[in-house]
Structure 1
């Protein structure tokens, strides 16, 4: 990988239906997941994803990628995506999201959601923007977790309100079937989920009864990265 871009930070029951805002029955359980990260089939580093309970229905979700191979290691490339969200009306809602990518230069983005005024503010150091918040809104970092929690309840098709730089996108995802997938953590019979409203590649393989996040994730937005689960632990 020439540069380390922000992953979909990294990154899958109900009746078959599309939900404007996915509903989840129980709060998520804290965990740590370690991934092998590659680009175009070449290993470039590892990712550590953690979910921590902060108490009172508040959570911190962190995705840390470190370049350990090839040019990514030579450049000291790494990225950090951290979201704070609340569990509200049986759904996660983003309160803040910060992203920092270091390679040739440092790129940063900060999102804040004021739920009292229902306003989202985004600042990447260039063109700050504001727009209206929507209940159940998540950010690009927590999206794979939100999908996994929905799958845990048996959903086969879902629409997620995702806050991006200048607006909320209604991103649609669908289970395409079940497949056997081999990753460093083992062999799994997984549900393959893909994005249904965009030609940007997002394919994720979930085992929702065991893990809140995918065992494998492949995406084109954010650097053509593939993440494969190495280890998962929870209290």
Structure 2
């Protein structure tokens, strides 16, 4: 049975991070999407259990401030994956972005029998070639789940991002101390996990609270400016 856990109640669990990683469970999480401190839209992240070891994670963002919001926010991403031990192994990935006058759709297939991944659709020419796969490779959505699973104060996390026709090595630094963070007007203690720059101008910061299966906040920046800032409002988890 699933039950709604209010954000205020969940945040009281953020005092310690010594417990082992919890098993993957289905959930639905609702976020507000901010940019430059203003509400730009809403987002929903969910994890759905399929057959056996197969799962799916989705992230949908919806603009609520007219055409500007729609152009910047409306997008849907999804990754089908299975679990191999403690690892999340991607099987397929899709991205749909909707904008005024122009939209984009991309589909990726992770073929572990040939250990290659390939994307089709609205993909740049230099990203259409097969990408060699290595054990542990994940899509961007799966890395968010892995951070929640793996983060401990003071640790450094290493992941290989394989998504949208490219592969990158990502390194995340976990803050040694919990920090106060405000989400939806409420204060709580969370763990800040920052992706260390490894070329390029994009930056990602994720905040994690013990006992919550999804990040309580995800901040994406490009060229020093906020692209979007997802802040958790509530979630429904398995019980």
| TM-score bracket relative to the smaller structure | 0.7 to 0.9
Deviation per residue, 1:149-187 (Å, 9 max, x gap)? 112x77821101110334321100011232111112842
Within the candidate set 58, 62, 72, 1:62 is matched to: 58
Report the counterpart of residue 200 of structure 1 in structure 2: 202
Asked if 1:228 corresponds to 2:231, the answer is yes
- How far has the Cα of 1:228 moved from its partner? 0.5
1:93·1:136 contact (CA, 8 Å) conserved in 2?
yes
Give the aligned length: 212
Match of 1:117 in 2: 114
User: Retained in 1: the 8 A contact 2:59–2:78?
Assistant: yes
Higher strand share: 2
Determine the structure 2 residue equivalent to 1:8: none
Distance 1:75 1:169, change over 3 A: closer
C-alpha spacing 1:98/1:118, structure 2 compared with 1 (3 Å): same
Bigger drift between 100-109 and 24-33 goes to 24-33
Partner of 2:32: 36
**Conserved? CA contact 1:123–1:129, under 8 Å:** no
- For residue 97 of structure 2, give the secondary structure of its aligned residue in structure 1: strand
Q: Which runs of 5+ in 1 are unaligned?
A: 1-12, 15-23
Alignment of 1:80-159 (within 5 A): 80-104=76-100, 105-126=102-123, 127=125, 128-151=128-151, 156-159=155-158
The answer on whether the counterparts of 2:70 and 2:99 sit within 8 Å (CA) in structure 1 is no
Q: Does 1:174 align with 2:176?
A: no
Distance 2:139 2:108 in 1: 9
Select the structure with the greater relative contact order (CA < 8 A; seq sep ≥ 6).
1
CA–CA distance in structure 2, aligned partners of residues 202 and 28 of structure 1 = 23
Which has more radius of gyration? 2
Closer, same or farther: CA 74–132 of 1 in aligned 2, 3 Å: closer
Task: Indicate the larger mover: 153-162 or 63-72.
Answer: 153-162
If the length of structure 1 is used for normalisation, what is the TM-score?
Answer: 0.81
TM-score by length of structure 2 reads 0.80
**TM-fit CA distance, 1:70:** 4.0
